[in-house]
Structure 1
C-alpha cells in the first residue's frame, strides 16, 4: 500500500465530506477511494472516519492523519512551486570550476561582462582549481576543462585552444630560442608532468628535460613567473592571448607541433535549471 497516497486521499475525503467528488477529482471510482481508506485503517488498526449516508467525519485517529495530510500537501505544493521557479527564473548562484590560468583570459572576462548585462540576478562564483574537480562532491554546477570528461558527465564543446611555449621578451633577449635544441638549454617553469612530457614528445624531444627547472604547481603562478622573466612555460593560447597582444609575452617557436586542447563546459546532468542553462548559453557565445 502507498501510505502517503492513501493519507492524501483521506485528507481530500475529510475536506470535501464526499467520496464521489474526490473520486471525480482524482479520476477514481468510489470503491477505489473507499478501498484506500480501508487499507489505511487496516495499516494503523484504527477506524479513521465515521460515515453516514449524508455525512463523513473523522475519528480522533482520522483527525490526526487529516492534519498530517494537510501539512504534506502544503509541502508538496511548495516543492512544486520551487521546482517550477527553478526551471524558469534566471536568478541565484552558479558555481564554475576552471583552471587557474583561465581567470584572466579574455573569454572569461567577456563572459562575466555579458552575464552582468544579460542576467544581472545570477551570481557567478568562480573556483580556480588546476585539479579535476568532483562536480558531485564539491557541489559545482559547471566545470571548464581542457580534457575529455569521463564517466556520466555531460560535456558541451566550447572551443579549441593551442598549447604554446611562451616567455617574456626580457627572458628571450638573454636566452634566445631559435630551434628545438634551444628548449632543453633554457629555464622552464614546470607545473604538470603529463602536460610537459606530452608536449615534448609531440615535438620529438622525448620526455621533458631542461637545463634548469622551477617547479610551480599552479598554472596561473607559472604564467606570472614567465611574465616576470623567470623562464619558459607552457600555456593555452586562449589564456595568454592578451599578454601576447600587449607584448608582455612572446610565443616561442609558433610553428612547432604542439597539441591542441578542446575546451568543454561540463555538468553532472543533461537537464539543468534556467539559470545554469543561461550560463551555458553565454559561455558558448563568448568562446565561440
Structure 2
C-alpha cells in the first residue's frame, strides 16, 4: 500500500473531522479511506484515531503523527514545485564539448546569441577534437562532426559539413595542379590526425573508387594544417568552415572542381531524451536551427 496515500487520507480525516467528509475531499470511498487509516495504525502499531458512531477524535499519538505527516507532505510539495520551476526556467550551467577549430571560429557568436535569450544559463565550453565520453565526463551536449553511427546516445543534425580539396596558388604553380583524384598521390598531403586515410570522392554524384593518400605532415588541428597549406606546404582536405575564408581571399585555391569528398554532418549529441533538462533542450533546439542547410561559411 502506498504510504503517501495513506498519510494523505489520515490528514484529511483529521482536518475534516470525519471519514465521509475526508472521502469527498479525496474523491475516494469512505471504506477505502477507513482502510488506509487502519493500515497505518497496524503498520505503526499505534491507535491514531478514536472512532464512535457520532464523531472521530485524534489520540495523542495521532496528533503527533498528524503534525509530522503534514510537514512531510508540505516539504514534498515544495520540492516538486521547485523541480517544476527549474524545468520551466532555463538556468544553470550548461557543459558543452565541441571540436577545437569549429568552436574557435564559429561558436562564439552562437553562444552569445543563446545567452541573450537565456541569460541565466552559464556555459562551460570544452574544446577538443577527441571523442569524449559525455556521460563519464559530465557533458550535457557534444557537437560532433562525422557520420551518424548506431549509439545509445541521442543525436540531432545541425548542419552539413562540406570538405574542400585545396592548396595555395604558389604550391600549385610549383608542383602542378592535379586534374584527377589519382594524381593526389604524387603530391604533399597535410593530414588531419582523426581523419580516415581513405577518402571517397563523388564525380557529379557518381561514386568513384577510394583514394589512399600519403601524408607528409600530420596534425590534430585543422587550422594549423590550413595555415601550412597557405604557406605552400601541400594539399589539404579540410572542412569549408576552416578553409572558406582563405579560399575567398585567394590564399587557397580549390582543386578538382568535378570531385568532392562526401559531405559529413554536424550533430548535437546528448545522453537522454526522457526528463531532458530545460537548459539542454533549449540549447539543442537553438543550435539545430542556427546554421541552416547552407551555413554562412559556405556562402563566400
Paired residue total? 280
- Counterpart position of 2:46: 46
Q: Distance in 2 between matches of 1:232 and 1:22?
A: 81
Secondary structure of the corresponding residue to residue 156 of structure 2: strand
Residues 1:43 and 1:244: Cα distance change in structure 2 (over 3 Å): farther
2:295 paired residue number: none
> What is the aligned partner in structure 2 of residue 5 from structure 1?
5
Distance 1:91 1:45 in 2: 46
Q: CA deviation at 1:27?
A: 1.0
Q: Secondary structure at the match of 2:138?
A: coil
**Structure 2 match to 1:82:** 82
Alignment match, 1:150: 150
Structure 1 unaligned blocks of 5 or more? none
- Which of 269, 272, 288 is 1:269 aligned to? 272
Q: What's the secondary structure of 1:115's corresponding residue?
A: helix
Contact 1:197 1:206 in 2 (8 A): yes
Q: How far apart in 2 are the matches of 1:115 and 1:264? A: 17
Q: Distance in 2 between matches of 1:98 and 1:254?
A: 30
In 1, Cα distance between the equivalents of 2:224 and 2:113? 27
Bigger proportion of residues as helix: 1
Q: Distance in 2 between matches of 1:249 and 1:11?
A: 77
Q: Quote the residue 1:28 is aligned against.
A: 28
Following superposition of structure 1 onto structure 2, how do residues 77-116 of structure 1 map, counting pairs within 5 Å? 77-106=77-106, 108-116=107-115
Q: Identify unmatched segments of 5+ residues in structure 2.
A: 293-300
Q: Name the CA distance, whole Å, in 1 between partners of 2:98 and 2:140.
A: 11
Report 1:1-288 matches (<5 A). Answer: 1-52=1-52, 53-60=54-61, 62-63=62-63, 65-106=65-106, 108-146=107-145, 147-167=147-167, 177-179=177-179, 180=181, 181-192=183-194, 195-199=196-200, 204=209, 206-210=211-215, 212-214=216-218, 216=219, 218=220, 221-228=221-228, 229=231, 231-247=234-250, 249-270=252-273, 272-288=276-292
Task: Give the SS at the match of 1:287.
Answer: coil
Q: CA RMSD in A?
A: 3.2
8 Å contact kept, 2:166–2:236: yes
Instruction: Sort the Cα spacing of 1:80 and 1:119 in 2 relative to 1 into closer, same or farther, 3 A.
Output: same
Deviates more, 1:156-165 or 1:134-143: 134-143
